[in-house]
C-alpha cells in the first residue's frame, strides 16, 4: 500500500513538472541581413502571463553579426524570472542566416527575397540534455513601405525528461514604415507551432510600434496575445536594439 502511494505521488509530481515546463514561443524573423562587421543586439524585456505562472522576461535576446554580404551569424535565447520557480533560461539557438535571392528594384520599390536560417539548439532550459536543431525557410515580399516575410520550418529540441520536443512552425512577420525615412514603423507577427511530440500547440499574435532613434538605435513596444493552450496568454515587451560597427 505504501509503495502504491509513493508511486502515485511520484507520477503526480512528474505530471506537474511536465505541465509547468515552458516551451519558448516561436518568433517569426525577417530577412534583414546585417552588413559585414555590424553587430545588432536586440533585447526585449517585460512581463508575460503563461498558461501557468507569470514570467518576467529579462531579456528575450537576439544577437546578429554580419560576416559576409548575405551571410550572418545569429544567437537567440531568453532568460526569465518565473513566479514560484525563480530564474529560468531557455535553450540557445545558434544559427546562420543566408540570403539566397533578392530582386530589389530601387525605382519600383518592389522586391521578392528568399533566405534560410538554420543551426543547432543547445540545452539551457532546466532538465534538458543533448543538442537539437532548428531550421526556417524565409520568403520575403516588399512593396513600397510594407515588408512581409513568411517563415516555414521546424525544430527538434534538446531532450526534456528523456523526450525531445519537436514541432512544425509557421509565421508571418510584417513591418510597415509610417514615413519615407522609416523613423517610425508598425510591426505585427502571427505565429504558430504544431507539436509532433504531444506538447500543446502554440498560436500567438503581436502588434507594436518601433522608433528608429538613429541609425544605431531602435526602441519598440510590443503587445502579445496568445490563443492556443501552449502559448503565453498575454504580455507587454519593451525592446532596445543598438547596432555596433566592429570592423
Where do the structural domains in the chain lie, given as residue ranges? Answer: 2-245
Does residue 203 contact residue 170 with C-beta atoms inside 8 Å? no
Q: What is the pTM of this model?
A: 0.89
Residue 22: what pLDDT? 66
Which residue is listed with cell 546578429?
64
H or E element in which residue 203 lies: strand 202-214
Contacts of 116 (CB under 8 A, 6+ apart): 97, 98, 100, 135, 136, 137, 138
**pLDDT tens-digit series, residues 51-85:** 778 889 999 999 999 999 999 999 999 999 987 77
List pLDDT tens digits, range 170-199.
999 999 999 999 999 999 999 999 999 999
Q: So what's the pLDDT on residue 21?
A: 57
Checking if the pLDDT of 88 tops 70, the result is: yes
pLDDT tens track for 166-176: 999 999 999 99
Do the Cβ atoms of 37 and 247 come closer than 8 Å?
yes
Whether pLDDT at 105 is above 80: no
CATH superfamily of this structure's domain 2-245: monomeric porin ompg (2.40.160.40)
Residues sharing a CB contact under 8 Å with residue 50, sequence separation 6 or more, in sequence order = 22, 232, 233
In degrees and rounded to multiples of 5, residue 242 shows phi and psi of -85, 155
Q: Compute the distance between CA of residue 120 and CA of residue 132 in angstroms, rounded to an integer.
A: 6
1 confidence band (pLDDT: 50, 70, 90)? very low
Provide the grid cell at 56.
518576467
Residues β-bridged to residue 46: 57
Residue 91: φ, ψ to 5°: -65, 160
Per-residue pLDDT, averaged over 8-13, amounts to 38
Tell whether the torsion through CA atoms of 244, 103, 189 and 166 is positive or negative.
negative
In 92-131, DSSP assigns E strands to: 92-102, 110-122, 128-129
Reference 48, options 16, 17, 78, 18; nearest CA is 78
Quick one: average pLDDT of 90-118?
A: 92
pLDDT value, residue 25: 87
Q: What is the mean pLDDT of the chain?
A: 90
- pLDDT of 14 over the 90 cut: no
In tens, the pLDDT along 44-53 reads: 999 999 877 8
Q: What confidence category does residue 205 fall into, taking pLDDT thresholds of 50, 70 and 90?
A: very high
Residues 175 and 204: beta-carbon distance below 8 Å: no
**The dihedral sign for the CA sequence 100, 151, 174, 210:** negative
Q: What are residue 55's DSSP bridge partners?
A: 48, 82
Tell me which of 31-35, 52-56, 63-67, 111-115 is least confident. 52-56
Amino acid at each position: 500500500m505504501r509503495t502504491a502511494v509513493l508511486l502515485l505521488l511520484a507520477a503526480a509530481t512528474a505530471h506537474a513538472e511536465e505541465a509547468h515546463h515552458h516551451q519558448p514561443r516561436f518568433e517569426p524573423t525577417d530577412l534583414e541581413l546585417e552588413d559585414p562587421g555590424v553587430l545588432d543586439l536586440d533585447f526585449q524585456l517585460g512581463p508575460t502571463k503563461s498558461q501557468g505562472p507569470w514570467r518576467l522576461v529579462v531579456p528575450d535576446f537576439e544577437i546578429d553579426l554580419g560576416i559576409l554580404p548575405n551571410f550572418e551569424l545569429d544567437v537567440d535565447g531568453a532568460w526569465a524570472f518565473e513566479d514560484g520557480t525563480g530564474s529560468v533560461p531557455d535553450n540557445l539557438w545558434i544559427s546562420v542566416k543566408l540570403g539566397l535571392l533578392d530582386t530589389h528594384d530601387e525605382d519600383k520599390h518592389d522586391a521578392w527575397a528568399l533566405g534560410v536560417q538554420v543551426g543547432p539548439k543547445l540545452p539551457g532550459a532546466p532538465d534538458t540534455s543533448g543538442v537539437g536543431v532548428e531550421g526556417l525557410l524565409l520568403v520575403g515580399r516588399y512593396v513600397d513601405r510594407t515588408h512581409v516575410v513568411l517563415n516555414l520550418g521546424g525544430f527538434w529540441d534538446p531532450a526534456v525528461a528523456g523526450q525531445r520536443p519537436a514541432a512544425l512552425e509557421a509565421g508571418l512577420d510584417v513591418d510597415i514604415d509610417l514615413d519615407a525615412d522609416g523613423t517610425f514603423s508598425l510591426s505585427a507577427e502571427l505565429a504558430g507551432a504544431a507539436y509532433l511530440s504531444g506538447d500543446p500547440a502554440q498560436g500567438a499574435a503581436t502588434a507594436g510600434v518601433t522608433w528608429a532613434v538613429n541609425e544605431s538605435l531602435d526602441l519598440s513596444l510590443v503587445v502579445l496575445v496568445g490563443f492556443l493552450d501552449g502559448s503565453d496568454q498575454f504580455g507587454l515587451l519593451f525592446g532596445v536594439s543598438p547596432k555596433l560597427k566592429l570592423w
